[in-house]
Structure formats: structure tokens, C-alpha cells
């Protein structure tokens, strides 16, 4: 299931989504989010998620299970792609309505650039979420009992290396799945 240069999963993109409402990108500091549960989820992905760069992180010892765990986490994603080249990331951000300053926040999807240090797609995915929280590159929208989040990671020269769109229920589910398989390091 894991591919280093190409789409891992593509169901469809937001161009055909009947619920598309585009939001202007406006970054928010996690501490300014009023929802306590969202704040706690962000803290989990910043400090405690498996295999991230934190002294407090847990781990999933058997990397052979990573693909199955990642598939369980992202089964409802419309688009999920990993690329080695930043030019491939940029092209696919456009196709998935994740480029520029307007993005659809309603459809769960991700475009991520892999690094050589990423052993699996799961490691790559969690690294980008952690980095976006640590560097304050989060877009948050609360509309009628729904919470939408976009995580953005960038390269040192400012190119977007990942955009991950999800909602609160996704984050809750991802944490539940990760905690089920992880052990404290």
C-alpha cells in the first residue's frame, strides 16, 4: 500500500464535492482555540503520538503494522498522496483544492512530501501534523457544531510540504487508533 512517489489512495477530489465552501487561510495559535477537546487533541499529536520527535512520544514497535494502522486511520479520506519531489506535491495540491490561499475544509484529504527519514506513510503523516502544530501552521474553522482543521507544513525555504484536512471526529478517531497500537517509549 505504501508508495514513495505517487498516490497511495485517491477516491475523488473536491471539485465534484457538493459541499465545497472555500475558506481563506488564516492561521491560528492552538492556545487561542476555545474548544478544550481540540486543544487536548493538538497536544496529543504534538507530544505523545507514536514515533514523532518528542521526548514524550509513544511508539508502535512493529513497522510492518504501520500500513494497516494508517489504512484504518484514513479509510474515509478522499485523497491521500505521498510524494518525494516537491514539484509533485505542488501539482497535486492544485488538483485537490489545497493550494493557494483558499481551500475546502470540508473533505478529509492529505498531500504530503516524504523525507528519507520517513520509514512509513504513518511516520510521514504524523511528522507533518506535529510540525504544523509546533510551527503554528494550523487553520481552524468552527461551523454549526462541526470543527474543521487544516495542518500545513513547509520546507525551510517556504514551499508547502504537506496539507492535511480533517475534522474533530477524525482527530478523535486517529488518536483512539494510535493509542490502541502504541506503547510508551
Cell of 133: 502544530
Q: What is the 3-state secondary structure (H, E, C) of 132-174?
A: HHHCCCEEEEEECCEEEEEEEEECCCCCEEEEEEEEHHHHHHH
Residue 163 and residue 1: Cα distance in Å, rounded? 20
Answer yes or no: is pLDDT of 151 > 80.
yes
Count of other CB atoms within 10 angstroms of residue 66: 21
Beta bridge partners of 111: 81, 163
Q: 49-99: per-residue pLDDT in tens?
A: 887 777 778 878 776 788 889 888 888 776 677 777 777 888 888 877 787
Would you call 102 helix, strand, or coil by DSSP?
strand
Calculate mean pLDDT across residues 163-180. 92
Cell of 36: 478544550
Q: 28-44: per-residue pLDDT in tens?
A: 888 788 889 999 999 99
Per-domain boundaries in the chain? 6-184
Distances (CA, A) of 77 to 8, 31, 32, 162: 11, 27, 27, 15
Dihedrals φ, ψ of 122, to 5°? -60, -45
Name the nearest CA neighbour of 84 among 11, 162, 157.
162
pLDDT of residue 24: 57
Amino acid at each position: 500500500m505504501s508508495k514513495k512517489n505517487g498516490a497511495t489512495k485517491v477516491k475523488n477530489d473536491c471539485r465534484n464535492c457538493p459541499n465545497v465552501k472555500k475558506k481563506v487561510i488564516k492561521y491560528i495559535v492552538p492556545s487561542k482555540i476555545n474548544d478544550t477537546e481540540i486543544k487536548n487533541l493538538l497536544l496529543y499529536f504534538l507530544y505523545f503520538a507514536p514515533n514523532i520527535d518528542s521526548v514524550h512520544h509513544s511508539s508502535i514497535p512493529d513497522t510492518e503494522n504501520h500500513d494497516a494502522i494508517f489504512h484504518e486511520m484514513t479509510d474515509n479520506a478522499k485523497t491521500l498522496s505521498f510524494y518525494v519531489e516537491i514539484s509533485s506535491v505542488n501539482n497535486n495540491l492544485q488538483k485537490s483544492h489545497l493550494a493557494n490561499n483558499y481551500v475546502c475544509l470540508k473533505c478529509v484529504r492529505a498531500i504530503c512530501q516524504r523525507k528519507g527519514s520517513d520509514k512509513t506513510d504513518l511516520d510521514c503523516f504524523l511528522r507533518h501534523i506535529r510540525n504544523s502544530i509546533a510551527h503554528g501552521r494550523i487553520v481552524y474553522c468552527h461551523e454549526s457544531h462541526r470543527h474543521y482543521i487544516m495542518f500545513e507544513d513547509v520546507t525551510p525555504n517556504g514551499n508547502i510540504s504537506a496539507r492535511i484536512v480533517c475534522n474533530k471526529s477524525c482527530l478523535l478517531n486517529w488518536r483512539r487508533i494510535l493509542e490502541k497500537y502504541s506503547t510508551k517509549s
